[in-house]
Amino acid sequence: MIFPARGLYAITQTENKSGDTVINEIEAAIRGGAAIVQYRDKNPAEALFLARELVKVCHSHKVPLIINDDIELAVGAGADGVHIGKEDGAIAQARKYLGKDAVIGVSCYDSVERALDAQGQGASYVAFGRFFPSSSKPLAAPARIETLQQAKLALNIPIVAIGGILPENGAQLLAAGADLLAVIGGLFDSQPEQSARAFQALFHNHS
């Protein structure tokens, strides 16, 4: 499945939630307009089962599902790709196991240089952040709005912004050059469908 050029990028909020709750929340976010979903679970007990169920849900809506940081799980679940961090050689490894059409995203934190390197290695998209204080990534190093502006001039693959993003602060990231907004708490701390619609309005206003 093709990575969307722009839109809301939903990342699962799995802490202290049942698999059914996670699935229901993702379905709600997709109804609200989420364009891509990432399964992120730092303490997975039923990772393969839940990943496969999420693939079914996402594909029924023609939305790609990618896995955070686990190429083996992505292969086993039949996911559309993987999101990886700093590991050297990980893009080539992901391509080897997932195929030439897989979505491969790379965290670039606050580094345009790293993003250019990832693009050169065949990444499908790059992600910068965190831009605002984040309960999901409280220790993550901050990224600057200027990095998005520089990245937009330098890159020809989609740019994702992440970290503490809400409907109230997302517009400035789109204006600076972000193509997609990756959200966890801003979607799933309250009502996912309504929250997703609030984010969708940002993209309509910025088109």
118 touches 128 (CB < 8 A) = no
Give whole-number Cα distances, 118 to 91, 106, 107, 201, in Å: 8, 7, 9, 30
In which band, very low, low, confident or very high, does the pLDDT at 100 lie, cut at 50, 70 and 90? very high
pLDDT in tens, 16-63: 899 999 999 999 999 999 999 999 997 777 899 999 999 999 999 999
Across residues 134-143, what is the average pLDDT? 75
Q: Using alpha carbons, list the distances in angstroms from residue 167 to 72, 76, 130, 194, 195.
A: 34, 35, 16, 11, 8
Q: pLDDT band at 206, cuts 50/70/90?
A: confident
Q: Cα-flanking dihedrals φ and ψ of residue 70, to 5°? A: -140, 95
Tokens representing 178? 């972000």
**DSSP code string of 28-73:** HHHHTT--EEEE--SS-SSHHHHHHHHHHHHHHTT--EEEES-HHH
CATH number assigned to the domain covering 7-132+142-190: 3.20.20.70
pLDDT at 127 over 70: yes
Angle formed at CA 184 by CA 183 and CA 187, multiple of 5 degrees: 80
44, 11 Cβ separation under 8 angstroms: no
pTM of the model: 0.96
What does R_g of the chain's alpha carbons equal in angstroms? 16
Split at pLDDT 50, 70, 90, the class of 195 is very high
Of 182, 198, 200, which is closest to residue 190 (Cα–Cα)?
Answer: 198
Maximum CA extent, the chain: 42
| Pair type for strands 159-162 and 81-84 | unpaired
